[in-house]
Amino acid sequence: MTRFLDVPSTSKLIAQIGVPRCLSELVDELENDYRRWADFDKSPRVACHSRDGVIELMPVADSKLFAFKYVNGHPVNAQRGLHTVMAFGALGDVDTGYPVLLAELTLTTALRTAATSVMVAKRLARRNARKMALIGNGAQSEFQAIGFHTLLGIDEIRVFDIDTHATDKLVRNLAAFPRLKLVRARSTAEAVRGADIVTTVTADKAYATIITPEMIEPGMHLNAVGGDCPGKTELHEAVVRMGRVIVEYEPQSRIEGEIQQLPADFPVVEFWRVLQGEVAGRENATQITIFDSVGFALEDYSALRYLHACALQHGAGDDISLVPPAADPKNLFALIAEHGPASCVESVTDAFEQVV
């Protein structure tokens, strides 16, 4: 049987555990999996681009489990009353090929993206970071804010979005965290001024320049989350050149990240090397560090594995028959025939006579 987690069951499960705890435990899972980077069969995601967006498949596997995610990115959907990003995914047993989990991943992707941001910022941001700018106050923003506040000690966030209703929503949703000071900025520049960490989570499918060189201050850590497909960026090219750039998986980041604006030989560092201690993340207190985040399948592997374990522990979701029973693996037709083989034959015969 395959465990199935739809949106209601996943929402209930996350609420039961609590968002801060989910984020904390996901950071641990992500770190454990990134530390065994060499164990995974990796490839850039497969993308199908259209005028209004992109649909992607993100596969990854180790010797035990295979994971994939179906995810879209359609910025125009907000005007249609639809989600800009939505996803589902599966976890399969490598030895048999059998799926063990089929799950919604829209909520879970928001969690794992925020957890990834925190995981990287732990190694790149200055230790005394307390102020963050959050540019883009849409679906991902609460998760980023909660993660940085509860896990990294950020106590002030300056928020800005060109859609003031999105900012209203963010402020309302974060009222449950009274120790977090929210400051509404009137522009990106105002939000960024004096920030230790700058997180961008915008959703415009264009070469945007949300952050420009004059906004940058010594020692800033930039967490560029929103730029995630060819032709879409958030940082001015000159900003990217100013910093030490950390990526998840370089072959994919070259196609979809902020570094797509730069020559193929522009130096970057894959994060797993920082985590394993091969290279330093931040080299000094005044250095500009940039996490050019595009989202990588390994993070979904971690999230799916975590989600599956939580579902089993808390009894969430349902077991479904996604794969036929194997009473006689060579007799697949029997599954149909047991429901009335005569009617099957008769319907085929009737159809044949009509054609003749």
- As to burial, measured by CB atoms within 10 angstroms (0-12 exposed, 13-18 middle, 19+ buried), residue 46 is exposed
Which is more confidently placed, 208 or 293? 293
Query: Hey, what are 175's tokens?
Result: 């009222």
pLDDT tens column, 291-335: 999 999 999 999 999 999 999 999 999 999 999 988 888 999 888
Nearest to 90 by CA among 333, 327, 304: 304
State pTM to two decimals.
0.92
**Which pLDDT score is estimated for 346?**
58
Whether pLDDT at 221 is above 70? yes
Does 341 score more than 70 pLDDT?
no
Rounded-to-5 percentages of helix, strand, coil across the chain: 40, 25, 35
Q: Which of 304, 292, 228 is nearest to 61 (CA)?
A: 304
Distance CA 259, CA 268 (A): 9
Q: 279 vs 5, 22, 101, 130, 276, CA distance in Å?
A: 39, 29, 36, 25, 8
Contact 323, 105 (CB under 8 A): no
Strands 233-235 and 221-224: unpaired
For the chain, how far is it from start to end, CA to CA, in angstroms?
44
Reported as half-sphere exposure (CB side, CA atoms, 13 A), residue 49 has a value of 10
Q: What is the DSSP letter of 128?
A: T
Show which residues are catalytic.
228
Helix (H/G/I), strand (E/B), else coil: 352: helix
**Helices (H) and strands (E) in the chain — how many of each?**
12, 17
Confidence of residue 231 (pLDDT cuts 50, 70, 90): confident
Residues of the chain with pLDDT > 90, as a percent, come to 82
Task: Supply the pLDDT for residue 134.
Answer: 98
What domains sit in the chain, N to C, each tagged with a CATH number? Answer: 2-107+299-320 (3.30.1780.10), 126-295 (3.40.50.720)
What is the rounded (10 degree) CA torsion for 123, 111, 129, 207? 90
Residue 113 near residue 293, CB atoms below 8 Å: yes
Q: Which tokens sit at 271?
A: 């994060």
